[in-house]
Protein backbone atom coordinates (compact mmCIF):
# COMPACT_ATOMS: atom_id res chain seq x y z
CA UNK A 1 0.00 0.00 0.00
CA UNK A 2 1.39 3.40 -1.00
CA UNK A 3 2.29 5.67 1.87
CA UNK A 4 0.50 9.02 2.00
CA UNK A 5 2.36 12.30 1.54
CA UNK A 6 1.64 15.77 2.92
CA UNK A 7 3.49 18.94 1.93
CA UNK A 8 3.73 22.14 3.97
CA UNK A 9 4.55 25.45 2.28
CA UNK A 10 5.51 28.18 4.79
CA UNK A 11 4.87 31.64 3.34
CA UNK A 12 5.49 35.18 4.55
CA UNK A 13 4.49 37.99 2.18
CA UNK A 14 4.73 35.67 -0.85
CA UNK A 15 4.49 36.50 -4.53
CA UNK A 16 0.95 35.16 -4.90
CA UNK A 17 1.24 34.42 -8.62
CA UNK A 18 4.46 32.46 -8.17
CA UNK A 19 3.12 30.64 -5.13
CA UNK A 20 -0.10 29.76 -6.94
CA UNK A 21 1.75 28.39 -9.96
CA UNK A 22 4.08 26.41 -7.72
CA UNK A 23 1.34 24.83 -5.62
CA UNK A 24 -0.59 23.84 -8.73
CA UNK A 25 2.51 22.26 -10.23
CA UNK A 26 3.21 20.35 -7.01
CA UNK A 27 -0.34 19.06 -6.98
CA UNK A 28 -0.31 18.08 -10.66
CA UNK A 29 3.14 16.46 -10.71
CA UNK A 30 3.27 14.81 -7.29
CA UNK A 31 -0.42 14.29 -6.49
CA UNK A 32 0.19 14.48 -2.73
CA UNK A 33 -2.56 13.57 -0.31
CA UNK A 34 -2.44 17.04 1.26
CA UNK A 35 -0.87 20.44 0.67
CA UNK A 36 -1.00 22.95 3.51
CA UNK A 37 0.05 26.58 3.12
CA UNK A 38 1.10 28.18 6.41
CA UNK A 39 0.60 31.88 5.72
CA UNK A 40 2.02 34.40 8.18
CA UNK A 41 0.80 38.01 8.50
CA UNK A 42 -0.75 38.18 5.03
CA UNK A 43 -1.55 41.49 3.40
CA UNK A 44 -5.26 42.15 2.72
CA UNK A 45 -6.60 40.06 -0.11
CA UNK A 46 -3.78 37.51 -0.17
CA UNK A 47 -5.78 34.65 1.31
CA UNK A 48 -8.64 35.33 -1.11
CA UNK A 49 -6.18 35.32 -4.02
CA UNK A 50 -5.03 31.83 -3.01
CA UNK A 51 -8.47 30.46 -2.19
CA UNK A 52 -8.89 28.36 -5.34
CA UNK A 53 -5.63 26.43 -4.88
CA UNK A 54 -5.70 22.66 -4.21
CA UNK A 55 -4.47 23.29 -0.68
CA UNK A 56 -5.55 24.06 2.84
CA UNK A 57 -4.60 27.63 3.72
CA UNK A 58 -3.93 28.37 7.36
CA UNK A 59 -3.27 32.01 8.21
CA UNK A 60 -2.10 33.71 11.40
CA UNK A 61 -1.91 37.48 11.97
CA UNK A 62 1.72 37.50 13.17
CA UNK A 63 5.00 36.30 11.74
CA UNK A 64 5.81 33.02 13.50
CA UNK A 65 9.03 32.27 11.66
CA UNK A 66 9.72 29.51 9.15
CA UNK A 67 10.37 26.79 11.73
CA UNK A 68 7.28 27.54 13.80
CA UNK A 69 5.11 27.62 10.67
CA UNK A 70 6.41 24.27 9.40
CA UNK A 71 6.03 22.72 12.85
CA UNK A 72 2.42 23.88 13.00
CA UNK A 73 1.80 22.49 9.54
CA UNK A 74 3.36 19.11 10.34
CA UNK A 75 1.29 18.86 13.51
CA UNK A 76 -1.89 19.21 11.47
CA UNK A 77 -1.00 16.77 8.70
CA UNK A 78 -2.13 13.18 9.08
CA UNK A 79 0.03 11.64 6.35
CA UNK A 80 2.77 9.00 6.57
CA UNK A 81 5.38 11.33 5.06
CA UNK A 82 5.72 15.00 6.03
CA UNK A 83 7.56 17.31 3.63
CA UNK A 84 8.07 21.03 3.23
CA UNK A 85 9.21 23.32 0.43
CA UNK A 86 9.89 27.04 0.19
CA UNK A 87 7.12 29.21 -1.22
CA UNK A 88 9.26 30.77 -3.96
CA UNK A 89 9.36 27.54 -5.93
CA UNK A 90 13.17 27.32 -6.02
CA UNK A 91 12.94 23.52 -5.86
CA UNK A 92 10.95 22.13 -8.85
CA UNK A 93 8.42 19.35 -8.32
CA UNK A 94 10.74 16.77 -9.91
CA UNK A 95 13.35 17.45 -7.22
CA UNK A 96 10.73 17.51 -4.48
CA UNK A 97 9.74 14.04 -5.65
CA UNK A 98 13.38 12.93 -5.35
CA UNK A 99 13.51 14.23 -1.77
CA UNK A 100 10.26 12.52 -0.78
CA UNK A 101 11.03 9.17 -2.48
CA UNK A 102 13.52 7.61 0.01
CA UNK A 103 11.26 8.49 2.95
CA UNK A 104 8.16 7.23 1.19
CA UNK A 105 9.78 3.87 0.37
CA UNK A 106 11.09 3.50 3.93
CA UNK A 107 14.81 3.76 3.08
CA UNK A 108 15.51 6.66 5.45
CA UNK A 109 13.83 8.61 8.22
CA UNK A 110 14.85 12.07 6.99
CA UNK A 111 15.73 13.21 3.46
CA UNK A 112 17.46 16.55 3.03
CA UNK A 113 17.49 18.39 -0.30
CA UNK A 114 20.88 19.85 -1.15
CA UNK A 115 21.82 22.75 -3.41
CA UNK A 116 25.54 22.28 -2.72
CA UNK A 117 25.78 18.56 -3.41
CA UNK A 118 28.28 17.87 -6.25
CA UNK A 119 25.46 16.31 -8.32
CA UNK A 120 23.03 19.21 -7.84
CA UNK A 121 22.06 21.43 -10.76
CA UNK A 122 21.91 25.14 -9.96
CA UNK A 123 20.44 27.29 -12.72
CA UNK A 124 21.05 30.70 -11.19
CA UNK A 125 23.24 31.60 -8.29
CA UNK A 126 22.84 33.80 -5.26
CA UNK A 127 25.03 36.84 -4.82
CA UNK A 128 28.65 36.19 -3.92
CA UNK A 129 27.99 37.30 -0.33
CA UNK A 130 25.10 34.85 0.10
CA UNK A 131 27.07 31.99 -1.45
CA UNK A 132 30.12 32.68 0.70
CA UNK A 133 28.09 32.93 3.89
CA UNK A 134 26.20 29.75 3.03
CA UNK A 135 29.38 27.76 2.38
CA UNK A 136 31.02 29.11 5.54
CA UNK A 137 28.00 28.20 7.66
CA UNK A 138 27.90 24.66 6.24
CA UNK A 139 31.61 24.16 6.98
CA UNK A 140 31.17 25.21 10.59
CA UNK A 141 28.06 23.06 10.98
CA UNK A 142 29.93 20.00 9.70
CA UNK A 143 32.51 20.50 12.43
CA UNK A 144 30.01 21.04 15.24
CA UNK A 145 27.28 18.52 14.41
CA UNK A 146 27.11 14.75 14.02
CA UNK A 147 25.42 14.99 10.61
CA UNK A 148 27.94 15.80 7.86
CA UNK A 149 26.12 17.43 4.94
CA UNK A 150 26.89 19.80 2.09
CA UNK A 151 23.75 21.85 2.74
CA UNK A 152 21.71 22.13 5.93
CA UNK A 153 19.44 25.04 4.97
CA UNK A 154 17.87 24.03 1.66
CA UNK A 155 14.10 24.50 1.75
CA UNK A 156 13.16 20.97 0.74
CA UNK A 157 13.08 18.18 3.31
CA UNK A 158 10.91 15.15 4.08
CA UNK A 159 10.55 13.12 7.25
CA UNK A 160 8.78 9.91 8.21
CA UNK A 161 5.85 10.35 10.62
CA UNK A 162 7.41 8.09 13.28
CA UNK A 163 10.66 10.04 13.01
CA UNK A 164 8.73 13.29 13.39
CA UNK A 165 7.10 11.99 16.55
CA UNK A 166 10.57 11.25 17.92
CA UNK A 167 12.13 14.60 17.03
CA UNK A 168 9.26 17.09 17.44
CA UNK A 169 9.73 17.62 21.18
CA UNK A 170 13.37 18.60 20.67
CA UNK A 171 12.82 21.50 18.27
CA UNK A 172 13.05 25.02 19.70
CA UNK A 173 14.17 27.31 16.86
CA UNK A 174 11.20 29.23 15.37
CA UNK A 175 13.11 30.79 12.48
CA UNK A 176 15.54 29.76 9.76
CA UNK A 177 17.71 27.77 12.17
CA UNK A 178 14.89 25.21 12.41
CA UNK A 179 16.27 23.39 9.36
CA UNK A 180 19.61 22.68 10.94
CA UNK A 181 18.02 21.85 14.29
CA UNK A 182 15.82 19.23 12.59
CA UNK A 183 18.92 17.62 11.06
CA UNK A 184 20.94 17.86 14.27
CA UNK A 185 18.26 16.33 16.47
CA UNK A 186 17.55 13.55 13.99
CA UNK A 187 21.26 12.69 13.99
CA UNK A 188 21.46 12.86 17.78
CA UNK A 189 18.54 10.42 18.02
CA UNK A 190 20.26 8.02 15.65
CA UNK A 191 17.73 8.45 12.82
CA UNK A 192 18.88 7.71 9.28
CA UNK A 193 19.52 10.78 7.11
CA UNK A 194 20.14 11.01 3.37
CA UNK A 195 21.22 14.11 1.46
CA UNK A 196 19.55 14.38 -1.95
CA UNK A 197 21.00 16.43 -4.84
CA UNK A 198 18.37 18.67 -6.39
CA UNK A 199 17.75 21.06 -9.22
CA UNK A 200 17.50 24.57 -7.85
CA UNK A 201 17.02 28.13 -8.99
CA UNK A 202 17.46 31.25 -6.90
CA UNK A 203 14.73 33.86 -7.16
CA UNK A 204 15.09 37.57 -6.28
CA UNK A 205 12.99 39.20 -3.62
CA UNK A 206 13.98 37.07 -0.64
CA UNK A 207 12.82 38.26 2.78
CA UNK A 208 16.09 36.94 4.25
CA UNK A 209 18.76 39.47 5.26
CA UNK A 210 22.11 37.79 4.47
CA UNK A 211 24.11 39.45 7.23
CA UNK A 212 21.47 39.59 9.96
CA UNK A 213 20.22 36.06 9.30
CA UNK A 214 23.78 34.70 9.19
CA UNK A 215 24.51 36.16 12.62
CA UNK A 216 21.30 34.68 14.00
CA UNK A 217 22.08 31.31 12.43
CA UNK A 218 25.59 31.30 13.91
CA UNK A 219 24.21 32.01 17.38
CA UNK A 220 21.50 29.38 16.98
CA UNK A 221 23.99 26.79 15.72
CA UNK A 222 25.75 26.67 19.09
CA UNK A 223 22.43 26.37 20.92
CA UNK A 224 21.41 23.55 18.58
CA UNK A 225 24.75 21.79 19.14
CA UNK A 226 24.23 22.08 22.89
CA UNK A 227 20.76 20.51 22.72
CA UNK A 228 22.03 17.75 20.44
CA UNK A 229 24.83 16.94 22.90
CA UNK A 230 22.28 16.81 25.71
CA UNK A 231 20.45 14.06 23.85
CA UNK A 232 23.69 12.10 23.91
CA UNK A 233 24.11 12.64 27.68
CA UNK A 234 27.30 14.64 27.17
CA UNK A 235 28.52 15.42 30.74
CA UNK A 236 29.79 18.92 29.96
CA UNK A 237 26.60 20.00 28.22
CA UNK A 238 24.50 18.36 30.93
CA UNK A 239 26.32 20.47 33.51
CA UNK A 240 25.83 23.63 31.47
CA UNK A 241 22.12 22.91 31.18
CA UNK A 242 21.80 23.33 34.96
CA UNK A 243 22.30 27.06 34.50
CA UNK A 244 19.87 27.54 31.61
CA UNK A 245 16.32 28.77 32.03
CA UNK A 246 13.60 26.37 30.96
CA UNK A 247 12.19 27.00 27.49
CA UNK A 248 9.30 25.06 25.96
CA UNK A 249 9.71 23.25 22.66
CA UNK A 250 7.85 24.69 19.67
CA UNK A 251 5.07 22.11 19.94
CA UNK A 252 4.44 23.23 23.52
CA UNK A 253 4.21 26.97 22.83
CA UNK A 254 0.91 28.71 22.25
CA UNK A 255 0.75 30.16 18.77
CA UNK A 256 -0.91 33.38 17.54
CA UNK A 257 -4.65 33.19 17.04
CA UNK A 258 -5.83 32.16 13.59
CA UNK A 259 -7.12 34.86 11.27
Q: Is the pLDDT of residue 64 over 70?
A: yes
Burial class from Cβ neighbours inside 10 Å (0-12, 13-18, 19+) for residue 164 reads buried
Residue 259 included in any domain: no
Residue 230 included in any domain: yes
3-state helix, strand, coil in the chain (%, to 5): 45, 20, 40
Per cent of the chain over pLDDT 90 is 63
Picking from 88, 84, 60, 59, the residue whose alpha carbon sits closest to that of residue 70 is 84
* Predicted TM-score of the model (pTM): 0.87
What's the pLDDT at 234?
54
Phi and psi (nearest 5°) for 150?
Answer: -80, -30
Per residue in 10-63, pLDDT tens? 999 999 999 999 999 999 999 999 999 999 999 999 999 999 999 999 999 999
Residue 252 included in any domain: no
Residue 141 included in any domain: yes
Residue of higher predicted confidence among 146 and 37: 37
Residue 257 included in any domain: no
What's the pLDDT at 239?
41
- The Cα 174–Cα 250 span in angstroms is 7
What's the pLDDT at 131?
66
Residue 256 included in any domain: no
Segments forming the whole domain that contains residue 75: 5-244
Q: How far is CA 53 from CA 25, 47, 49, 149, in A?
A: 11, 10, 9, 34
- The Cα 108–Cα 160 span in angstroms is 8
Residue 58 included in any domain: yes
Query: What is the SS3 assignment for 35?
Result: strand
Per residue in 73-110, pLDDT tens? 999 999 999 999 999 999 999 999 999 999 999 999 99
Residue of higher predicted confidence among 56 and 148: 56
Give the chain's domain count: 1
Worst-scoring range by mean pLDDT, 155-164, 172-181, 194-203, 215-224? 215-224
Per cent of the chain over pLDDT 70 is 83
Domain of residue 87, CATH code: 3.90.550.10
What's the pLDDT at 236?
42
Cα 117 → chain centroid:
17
Summary mean pLDDT of the chain: 86
Residue 255 included in any domain: no
What's the pLDDT at 191?
96
Amino acid sequence: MARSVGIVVPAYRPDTDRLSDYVRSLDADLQPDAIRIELDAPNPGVKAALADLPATIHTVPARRGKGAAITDGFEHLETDVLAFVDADGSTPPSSVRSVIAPVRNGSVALAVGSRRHPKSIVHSHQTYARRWLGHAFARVARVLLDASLYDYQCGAKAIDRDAWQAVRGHLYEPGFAWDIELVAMAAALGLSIQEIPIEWEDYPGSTVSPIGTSIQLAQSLFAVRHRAKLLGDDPLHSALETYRADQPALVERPGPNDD
